[in-house]
Amino acid sequence: MQLDARNFHPASIDNHVLLEKLRSTGSFTYIPDPGNLGDALLAASTLHFFDTHGLSYSFHKKNRLPENLVYGGGGIWNPYYQRFWQKEFLLLFRHAKKVLILPSSFFNCDALLRELDSRFTIFCREQQSYDYLQHAQTGAEIILDHDMALRLDSSVFHYNNHGVAPYDLGVLRKIKPFYMRRTNVGFFLRRDCESIHTYSSDLDLSDMGSIDLSSSRQRILCCAAIFLSTVDSVDAVVTDRLHVGIAGMLMNKEVYLLDSSYKKVSSVYRQSFETIGCPKVHLVTRPPESFHASSTASRNLEILMREVANVQI
């Protein structure tokens, strides 16, 4: 199945430094950042990037201690998720010869800082994380870059619906009520510990599904296709979810970004949206009273529901 990619506008990113560091790592084990549908978009973009540039990698297998480790970008490195990453990842980092962390945010993660040394290369996706790690003087190499999801290409729309997991069918069915009542503006606002807003939300899209350390390539790509297609079903997006905003930008929507609790969204906006040049992406303190978005909504989500989940629209 090939979904409609006519709205997709890839971002122009300089990959020279990132590729140099990944290639110098040698063959590596990749661990996607576990989390929500936004993290699936990150992982899908990362896998496409690895494959496009011919990098030698394998997925992490439980109870293995990788020699060269590349950890996926994301927003896990803060106190909200510390119990999880301390338990799951610090032991792996401790035993690896080389560790590269793809562009991420870092905030009050002292337990991670204590593990860092010259074996580590860490990419930050915004200035405040870069300054935080530089100030810690851990011996790790710290590099300022851009979120991996901004490197997504249109191959994500070449969707293979063979062997779709029941879990992913459930994600589509959960999104169906939103699709049935949607207008041309999607309010995709978070409802978790990072939220600082009281505006009503049509759907916390990122929270409709997740990936974990056991997720297959097929599941990652399926979740990413669902995520992008849902964003592409509207003309304009209001969100405090970073990857909903990135998806909106990639799908040529009018995007209104609200900040999150530790300024992650505004920091990435300044680092990437402003420097790349994204005139349709706006950092705001409140949603606008009126929207003047052009009509760009596609039927990709309807196609996925009908062809993959057998959901009648």
Please tell me whether residues 220 and 134 are part of one structural domain. no
Residue 261 confidence (pLDDT): 82
| Residue 154, phi-psi category: left (phi > 0), alpha (psi -120 to 50), beta (remainder) | alpha
Residue 63 confidence (pLDDT): 81
Residue 198 confidence class, pLDDT cut points 50, 70, 90: confident
Q: At what angle do helices 37-52 and 242-250 cross, to 10 degrees?
A: 50
Q: At what angle do helices 166-181 and 300-307 cross, to 10 degrees?
A: 130
The arrangement of strands across the sheet holding 281-283 comes to 185-188, 236-239, 254-257, 281-283
Residue 159 confidence class, pLDDT cut points 50, 70, 90: confident
Please tell me whether residues 55 and 144 are part of one structural domain. yes
The residue from 127, 151, 175 where one domain ends is 151
Non-local CB neighbours of 177 within 8 Å, separated by 6+ positions = none
Please tell me whether residues 146 and 167 are part of one structural domain. no
Please tell me whether residues 108 and 230 are part of one structural domain. no
Nearest to 189 by CA among 259, 294, 283, 136: 259
Q: Tell me if 312 is assigned to some domain.
A: no
The answer on pLDDT for 12 being more than 70 is yes
Residue 87 confidence (pLDDT): 87
Please tell me whether residues 111 and 241 are part of one structural domain. no
The answer on pLDDT for 59 being more than 90 is yes
Q: How far apart are CA 47 and CA 54, in angstroms?
A: 11
The residue from 151, 180, 209 where one domain ends is 151
pTM given for the model: 0.94
Lowest mean pLDDT among 162-171, 180-189, 264-273: 162-171
The residue from 151, 173, 193 where one domain ends is 151
Q: How far apart are CA 139 and CA 62, in angstroms?
A: 29
Please tell me whether residues 191 and 219 are part of one structural domain. yes
Please tell me whether residues 105 and 184 are part of one structural domain. no
Residue 262 confidence (pLDDT): 79
Q: Tell me if 56 is assigned to some domain.
A: yes
Please tell me whether residues 221 and 188 are part of one structural domain. yes
Q: How far apart are CA 113 and CA 136, in angstroms?
A: 7
Domain that holds residue 274: 161-307
- CATH code of the domain covering residue 141: 3.40.50
Q: How far apart are CA 203 and CA 182, in angstroms?
A: 10
Residue 162 confidence (pLDDT): 63
Mean residue pLDDT across the chain = 92
Please tell me whether residues 168 and 300 are part of one structural domain. yes
The model's pLDDT over 84-114, given as tens digits with 9 standing for 90+, comes to: 898 889 999 999 999 999 999 999 999 999 9
Please tell me whether residues 167 and 296 are part of one structural domain. yes
Please tell me whether residues 143 and 176 are part of one structural domain. no
Q: How many domains does the chain have?
A: 2
The answer on pLDDT for 64 being more than 90 is no
Residue 32 confidence (pLDDT): 94
Position with higher pLDDT, 146 vs 162: 146
Q: Tell me if 131 is assigned to some domain.
A: yes
Please tell me whether residues 183 and 134 are part of one structural domain. no
Residue 260 in 3-state DSSP?
coil
Q: How far apart are CA 244 and CA 188, in angstroms?
A: 7
Q: Tell me if 6 is assigned to some domain.
A: no
